[in-house]
Amino acid sequence: MSLPKIIWSKIDEAPALATYSLLPIVNAFTQAAGVSVVTSDISLAGRVLAAMGLAEDELSKLGEVVLEADGNIIKLPNISASVGQLKDCIAELQGQGYDIPNYPENPANADEEAIQAKYAGCLGSAVNPVLREGNSDRRAAKAVKKFAQNNPHKLRAFPENPKSYVAHMEGNGDFFGNEKSVTSDKDQSVTIALNGNTLTTIDALAGEILDGTYMSVAALNSFYAKTIEDAKANDVLWSLHLKATMMKISDPIMFGHAFKVFFKDVFAKHADTFAELNVAPNQGMSDLEKKIAGHAKEAEIKADFLAALESDAPKLAMVDSDKGTTNFNASNDVIIDASMPVVVREGGKQWDRTGAAVECVAVIPDSTYGMFHAEMVADCVANGQYDVTTMGAMQNIGLMAQKAEEYGSHPTTFELAEAGTVTVTGADGVLMSFECEAGDIWRMSRTKDIPIKDWVRLAVERTRLEGIPAIFWLDADRAHDAEIKKKVDAYLTDHDTDGLDIQFMNVTDATRFTNGRVREGKNTIAVTGNVLRDHLTDMYPILELGTSAKMLSIVPLIAGGGLYETGAGGSAPKHVDQFLAEGHLRWDSLGEFLALAESLRFIGQKHSDAKLAALTAGLDAANEGYLDNNKEPGRKVGQPDNKASHFFVAQYWADALANGADAELAAKFAPVAAELKAKEATIIEELLAVEGQAQDIGGYFHPNDELAEKAMRPSATLNAIIDAI
């Protein structure tokens, strides 16, 4: 009987570089147990080439794999591209000789509209909705949690009388306040229209929840203006936290409004010039600087922006103080689920233009998840910083299958061209209607019935296994949550919940309950929708473990297979910059090690394969050895990096197999283990020999495979041992 193969996603940036070193090791070991690991290119460059017909559409193929009973995918973090990243990727591919068109920001004809439509599929969260055909089970492995407690990372104390806080909208101006929700009573075609003119049509399923809502731009801009005045009055740094990478329609628009409000005088003074140059505030200062380059007023405009920062405006948070890169450089520079944990980790502070850490107001317009971050900061203001050595854990069961509550809801999000009535109409008439103004951001999200049923099943199973409270984060005052709760109440009756502690709370109460237990060293299961899942599973792991990349992220696919995600890639660009300059890659592949173990375990259990069980047990031992011996990559050049961490996992894995229960694997790997031990000093010397040397891998988005593999496999001794297995 042949065992199913594992598909390892070829993606972008630091985890892609790490794959050149790690995957040969993985294949050498897994093939000994009859499992092959193959790659599938879903990188941004791969998706761009596929969109233009110059490469296979690997993402669509994986969309079929997740519907198979034995589908097994290890998904590394990929770029959720902004327009700026997409344009940079296109330019790189053109420079490599690929005949592809530029991205038309403002299509002037039908041909350019068609090109823009093809590229649109590469923007934002293009990958996750295709692959996530199951709900999310995220938690820290016990060995990882134990290591973090025994080797605590630094959480900086909040100052006495702290001033940091989170500001979010309240009332009926934001997506939360304006939301309406209905459950479709039949399979039907549903039309979204503005003043009778169709915006789009969708096919809704019976039992599917449809949510409509909008962000009032007038309320948004009033909110921004108030937070700016409050920041000045409170003498705190002003910072904006959005997720333009995922919410690729709505959040760049909200970013652009913030940019214009913060620098309102500059935009008013130079309105004609900006219109002439087609300046797009949604793309930030970096795009503006490109547009004004060489213009007669370039120096004057730059001076006016600088003067605005030096006037009575509040201090503005920086992305990179050394380079003068502000919070408004690009819409995707500050990603909320990565940036807000840093605010908490740093004691409520961010960095100003001088590089000093300063208390801040974190501005998060939409209260849907703004309430969570507000309570996280308020909890530390009231109770002080967490203690990594004793704090409990947040586990998450996230509703995300079949695009549930999908981030951004890209095909059904619109910047309204005129004021009037938005209607959502089904077979029997109007389901919802909204009175909006021109420029408002209207969107619909959808949640199908089968994912909710599976979400409840997974939550009950994990609650019984863990024996700890599970909290459904559902707010009776939110329209969507009220519809969801009706289904949850019904589906809970399908399960034996006797003796289980299952509760329902709104976001603020659930955060307080979870944090209270965290401070007592107790664990809690947060059962949340897709959006909150993303925020919680970065915030808590970064505080508990130092990074969300160390979380187990398992997606049991509804069809029977498994998707294993390997953690966040928010810091990946900085890692690549360092590698290209110094040959040092500090990306930690622990997420890949853990995901591979779970992937192998799934196959071994499903197919009752003893040899594969032994191989998996060996990898479990190797992962524990990796943690216990503190072999994670060093941060600085000259220290063992990502490549060395792969060597040590290979050594520990081979040693575990040599001493394991399977005689055939023991005989095969005993000499491998002996050779890896005997030649450790030589291998480390060869790996460190390239430290401090600039690397040419032929491209950032689309590296040359031969050059990248050579750069990531510099030890001839290690390569010979691995390749001979």
pLDDT tens for each residue of 427-440? 999 999 999 999 99
Predicted confidence (pLDDT) at residue 408 exceeds the cutoff of 60: no
Q: Is 543 exposed, middle or buried (0-12, 13-18, 19+ CB in 10 A)?
A: buried
DSSP-assigned states of every residue in 560-623:
S-EEEE----TTHHHHHHHHHHHS-----THHHHHHHHHHHHHHHHHTT-HHHHHHHHHHHHHH
Rounded distance, CA 331 to CA 4, Å? 41
- If you search the block for the tokens 């295709």, which residue do you land on? 130
Tell me whether residue 349 is in a domain. Answer: yes
Nearest by Cα to 594 from 21, 13, 22, 32: 22
Task: Compute CA 275 distance to the chain's CA centroid, rounded to the nearest angstrom.
Answer: 34
DSSP-assigned states of every residue in 292-331:
HTT-TTHHHHHHHHHHHHHTTSPPB-EEETTTTEETTS-T
- Amino acid identity, position 269: K
Judged by average pLDDT, the poorest of 250-254, 265-269, 401-405 is: 401-405
Residue 565 has, within 13 A of its CA and on its CB side, a CA count of 27
222: left (phi over 0), alpha (psi -120 to 50) or beta: alpha
CB atoms within 10 A of CB 519: 16
Q: What is the mean pLDDT of the chain?
A: 94
The sheet carrying 394-399 orders its strands as 37-41, 6-10, 72-75, 562-565, 551-556, 136-140, 394-399, 524-529, 470-473, 502-505
Tell me whether residue 533 is in a domain. Answer: no
Mean pLDDT in residue range 69-89: 91
Rounded distance, CA 185 to CA 426, Å? 10
Predicted confidence (pLDDT) at residue 652 exceeds the cutoff of 90: yes
| Chain segment 510-525, per-residue pLDDT in tens | 999 999 999 999 999 9
| Chain segment 15-37, per-residue pLDDT in tens | 999 999 999 999 999 999 999 99
The sheet carrying 188-194 orders its strands as 197-204, 188-194, 420-426, 429-436
Q: For residue 68, what are the contacts with CB-CB under 8 A and spacing of at least 6?
A: 559, 560, 561
User: What percentage of the chain reaches a pLDDT higher than 90?
Assistant: 88
Coil vs helix vs strand at 146? helix
Q: Are the beta carbons of 642 and 633 closer than 8 angstroms?
A: yes
Tell me whether residue 284 is in a domain. Answer: yes
Report which of residues 55 and 2 the model is more confident about.
Answer: 55
Q: Are the beta carbons of 203 and 411 closer than 8 angstroms?
A: no
Rounded distance, CA 158 to CA 386, Å? 10
Report CA-CA distances (Å) from 669 to 262, 442, 595: 62, 59, 22
Rounded distance, CA 61 to CA 51, Å? 14
- Crossing angle of helices 610-628 and 142-150, rounded to 10°: 10
pLDDT at site 551: 86
Tell me whether residue 206 is in a domain. Answer: no
DSSP-assigned states of every residue in 409-436:
GGGGEEE-SSSEEEEEEETTEEEEEEEE
Tell me whether residue 466 is in a domain. Answer: no
Confidence of residue 7 (pLDDT cuts 50, 70, 90): very high
pLDDT at site 406: 66
Rounded distance, CA 640 to CA 637, Å? 8
Tokens of 61: 């193929």
Mean pLDDT in residue range 571-584: 89
| Chain segment 83-102, per-residue pLDDT in tens | 889 999 999 999 999 999 99
Compute, in degrees rounded to 10, the torsion defined by CA atoms 295, 296, 297, 302.
60
- If you search the block for the tokens 């879903």, which residue do you land on? 42
Predicted confidence (pLDDT) at residue 570 exceeds the cutoff of 80: no
Tokens of 346: 């740093």
The pairing of strands 72-75 and 6-10 is parallel
Q: Is the whole model's pTM more than 0.85, yes or no?
A: yes
Tell me whether residue 266 is in a domain. Answer: yes
Domain count of the fold of the chain: 1
Beta bridge partners of 362: 166, 239
Tell me whether residue 30 is in a domain. Answer: no
Confidence of residue 407 (pLDDT cuts 50, 70, 90): low
Residues found in the chain: 725
pLDDT at site 333: 87
Confidence of residue 679 (pLDDT cuts 50, 70, 90): very high
Coil vs helix vs strand at 217? helix
Judged by average pLDDT, the poorest of 31-40, 298-307, 543-552 is: 543-552
Nearest by Cα to 105 from 252, 295, 247, 240: 252
pLDDT at site 143: 87
Rounded distance, CA 29 to CA 490, Å? 46
The pairing of strands 357-363 and 237-240 is parallel
| Chain segment 125-170, per-residue pLDDT in tens | 788 889 989 999 999 988 899 999 999 999 999 999 999 999 999 9
Predicted confidence (pLDDT) at residue 1 exceeds the cutoff of 80: no
Rounded distance, CA 664 to CA 677, Å? 20
Alpha helices (H) in 79-186, listed in sequence order = 83-95, 110-120, 128-131, 142-150, 175-178
Rounded distance, CA 516 to CA 368, Å? 22
Range of the domain at 345: 165-173+217-383
| Chain segment 31-58, per-residue pLDDT in tens | 999 999 999 999 999 999 999 999 999 9
Q: For residue 400, what are the contacts with CB-CB under 8 A and spacing of at least 6?
A: 128, 132, 135, 136, 451, 530, 533, 555
Long-range Cβ contacts of 90-96 (<8 Å, 24+ apart): 90/48, 90/119, 92/45, 92/699, 92/700, 92/701, 92/702, 93/45, 93/48, 93/49, 93/701, 93/702, 96/698, 96/699, 96/702
pLDDT at site 202: 96
Coil vs helix vs strand at 219? helix
Tell me whether residue 273 is in a domain. Answer: yes
Rounded distance, CA 675 to CA 100, Å? 49
Q: Are the beta carbons of 10 and 46 closer than 8 angstroms?
A: yes
**Which of 244-248, 313-317, 491-495 has the largest mean confidence?**
491-495
Mean pLDDT in residue range 531-541: 94
Mean pLDDT in residue range 342-347: 97
Q: Are the beta carbons of 364 and 168 closer than 8 angstroms?
A: yes
Rounded distance, CA 274 to CA 515, Å? 47
Judged by average pLDDT, the poorest of 208-212, 551-555, 572-576 is: 572-576
- If you search the block for the tokens 């547009």, which residue do you land on? 291
Rg, the chain, Cα only: 26
